[in-house]
Copies of this chain bind each other. A is one copy, B any other.
Amino acid sequence: MLKGAITIQANNLYDIKSVLTQIEQVSQFSQDNAGITRLAFTPADYQARNYIISLMQTSGLTVHIDAIGNIIGRFVPEGTDSSPAVATGSHLDTVPSGGKYDGVLGIVCGLAAINRLKSQSDIRHPLEVIVFAAKESSRFNLPTIGSKAMAGLVTAATLNAIKDQDGIALAAELAAIGFQTKQISTASRSKNSIKGFVELHIEQGQVLEQGRIRIGIVDKVSAPTRLKITVRGTAGHSSVAPIEERQDALVSAAMIILAVRNIAAEYEYQGTVATVTILKTYPGSINVIPGQVEMWVDIRGTEHESVIEILQEIKDAVSSIADDYNTPVAIEVLSSEKPILLDDTINQIMEAACCKLKQTSVRLDSRVSHDAMNIAHIAPAGVLLIPCKDGISYNACQEAAPEDIAAGLDVLTEILYQLAK
């Protein structure tokens, strides 16, 4: 019987101290020393993956790696093999110079929760902790690739077209671990293979911290809409005058950055924001007026209508800047996915778990993508958030308090138990 009283054994794979140690351990696997940089399928990512695989094996889980590189650690109580699984998990890859809790938290807590539940006699479903491959879009420009594949949302043709900034194909990385993209359908799971999925994650916002609330329960997850804007000017020697007659692509780009920022400030009350996140100047020589600028815009909103509107406003502003400064602009919509409504039944179970464990909770929407939004296509899925310090994420300063992590682990364990019993 669980009843708010899973025995926590010190120095064991499922106590909070071990969880914190494991988070520290994974944070050592980084491509550099500026925060944590562990892009998908890099050596640092494989180090982290192998470490987690060894933890799974030590915990007695069977480990399966699917055709997109998702790692599935599975504990099957006797006689439950044909039942749908109760699953949890998150990702190990990071953005460049990211933080140590993002993704990792959900994996080590998921493993700890399963370890706590292993000895429960009334578990009637297999328990799984899943490491989703290539969640961040930092390397391959497409987010949540692993969970998309598991939900059957990505084709071999799409995968074959994906390359990183150095021109290295995703297909080549998969081939290196023995998979061919044409096998991708083997990674997808049927709608009755998972009874429920819950992902524990840090908030990456300040709703919980400012409201002094321990647990966030996500109603809706925004999927990003992404644009690539190319501004064409005329390169010339940096001494060229008059300034008014220049077609300086970077000056137009600056106007666009400020326009996007002002439009975002207007729309944020609707839960929608937009950000210019990357900018590149060409030819990139210290004495040459920029002849071309490429910039990437990330739009996040939990209301699809609002995303459509902000996109139109950005397009209008960009085209007016292009005309005013005689610098033609091309806008390419790289991706545009609708916000995902998560499962209300799961959310009620999450609320009940918080109540039972006397943890404050709140329902909220998330502008941050999570793998759960893809799994929601094949199973009831939920996202459980704990506070992060100052809302800082994607930054080496990312912090989560041990007491919040402990609370998150307890609530996650209770939820998985309620789903699995």
Contacts and interface: CB of A to CB of B under 8 A. Distances in A.
B136 A285 contact: yes
A241 interface: yes
Total copies of this chain within the assembly: 2
A284 interface: yes
Interface residues of A, number: 67
Interface string A198-234: 0000001100000000000000001010100000001
A286 B277 contact: yes
B265 A368 contact: no
Interface string A81-97: 00000000000000111
A315 B222 CA distance: 41
Contact of A291 (B290, B391, B395): B395
A241 B365 CA distance: 13
A240 interface: yes
Contacts of A250: 257, 276-277, 279
Nearest to A267: B243
Given A239-B204, A243-B273, A258-B255, A394 B248 contact: no
30 contacts: A95-B288, A96-B288, A97-B283, A136-B287, A137-B285, A137-B286, A137-B287, A138-B285, A204-B236, A204-B237, A204-B239, A204-B240, A226-B286, A237-B367, A237-B393, A239-B366, A240-B393, A243-B261, A243-B268, A250-B276, A253-B257, A254-B254, A254-B257, A277-B281, A277-B286, A277-B288, A277-B289, A285-B394, A289-B394, A291-B395
Given A251-B258, A254-B254, A280-B281, 6 more contacts: A205-B239, A235-B394, A237-B368, A238-B275, A251-B261, A278-B290
